[in-house]
Amino acid sequence: MTREKPCVLIGVTGCIAAYKTCEIVRGLQKAGVRVKVVMTEHATEFVGPTTFRALTHEPVAVGLFDDPSDPIHHISLAQECDVFLIAPCTANVAAKIAHGIADDLLTTTALATKSPLVLAPAMNVGMYEAAATQENFETLRRRGVRFIDAASGYQACGDVGRGRMEEPEAIVSQILTLLDDLFGVKRDLVGERVMVTAGPTVEPIDAVRYISNHSSGKMGYAIAEAACARGAEVTLVSGPVSLAAPEGVTVVPVKTACDMLEAARSAFAESSIAIFSAAVADLRPANPSDRKLKKGSDDASLASILLVENPDILKTLGWEKKPGQVVIGFAAETNDVIENARVKLEKKNADMIVANWVGEGRAFGQDDNQASFVLHEEVIDLPSMSKRDLADRILDQALLIAR
């Protein structure tokens, strides 16, 4: 944690639920959180800034130019907070944030902050269910904005349905869990650059066909996310997967093994830790066609696709390793797991191989993973755990190797 107390900035927007925000402020304060408040002009119609000033013992800003001592108030607020919670969040403010509109202090701060943004929507059921609102929520979710979903029930306007802001206690508890997740983790990778390869590669046969494999990319994405949470600057060189880019991670999307080698090589040069979790296709069609091959006229080409070997990315870069760099690979095996991993450790000049047994539905696409760390001096067998926990264990081991 960078400061003594975590700081939550609460944005209050113009909705009757604004009175409940006072309880959120108190709940977070009781848990030892520093709370600051920023309000929209409309919010002040429901609760006055004086109320929040009295509760927080902090200045409460509304206008962009309210604080003459701080001409760039939205930037300082954005940088100061560990979490930016907007509660209640109206349909209008969610729409503005989704579209990058920044026309007051609250929305400029939302656009400027790099801290997690959490929205607790509150609005009439019709507005809540409107396609525009739902699409805005979807856009925001895709960008990593977190939601404390609105509850159903009796609404101030007399309607009954979804759109009531969640109860203050539930909001406080979710924010405290988030703070724990964010700051309960170690920050032992600050200053390190970590490169991760992930996902499958896709090797074209023709304009529509390709050779690939079942890799989901989950393991590599979990490693990237864990390294980033621990403070590293992370580059994730990823084959095509259906996972969202982890927040704060630089993703370099690639398709083929040759592209992956090129992207990995440039990230590797800058990295202190490199983890190769991609399931690289070992072979690729030698002469991919840039048009679709047709049955009948192209029968001969379709019947015998000449394959050539792809570069081994881990092996190539493993042998380019400089002193101080840690190189970790994976070995997905169906038999003789440890023996095969040992061979890969030596052949690819890695510092460690994370060996796992695959087959019968294990590893590929699953959330859990059972692995062994194969090092030059020892083998460490791990119990089955989530890919996210395994990611942290791999990073722990990488730091031990580095020292």
Note the residues at the interface with ligand CTP (CB under 6 A).
Answer: 197, 257, 276-278, 280, 282, 310, 312-314, 329-332, 344
**Measured from the CB of residue 370, what is the shortest distance to ligand CTP in angstroms?**
16
7 is an active site residue: no
For the CB of residue 312, give the shortest distance to ligand CTP in the complex, in Å: 4
- Measured from the CB atom, the residue of 107 and 372 that comes closer to ligand CTP is 372
Task: Given the residues 7, 81, 89, 157, select the one marked as catalytic.
Answer: 157
Tell me how far, at minimum, the Cβ of 328 lies from ligand CTP, in Å: 8
CB nearer to ligand CTP: pick between 285 and 329: 329
Furthest CA-CA distance within the chain: 81
Specify the pairing of strand 151-154 against strand 146-147: unpaired
Distance CA 298, CA 286 (A): 16
d(CA 54, CA 63): 19
Q: What is the DSSP string of 31-74?
A: TT-EEEEEE-TGGGGTS-HHHHHHHHSS--B-STT--TT-TTHH
> Between residues 210 and 330, which has the closer beta carbon with respect to ligand CTP?
330
Q: How far is the CB of 276 from ligand CTP (least distance, A)?
A: 4
Q: Are 221 and 244 in contact (CB under 8 A)?
A: no
- Using CA atoms in the order 168, 169, 173, 179, what is the torsion angle rounded to 10 degrees? 40
Three-state secondary structure call for residue 164: strand
Q: What interhelical angle do 168-183 and 18-30 show, nearest 10?
A: 40
Q: Nearer to ligand CTP by C-beta: 122 or 331?
A: 331
Choice between 221 and 330, CB closer to ligand CTP: 330
Q: Cα separation of 268 and 280, whole Å? A: 17
Half-sphere exposure of 251 (CA within 13 A, CB side): 21
Residues identified as active-site: 157
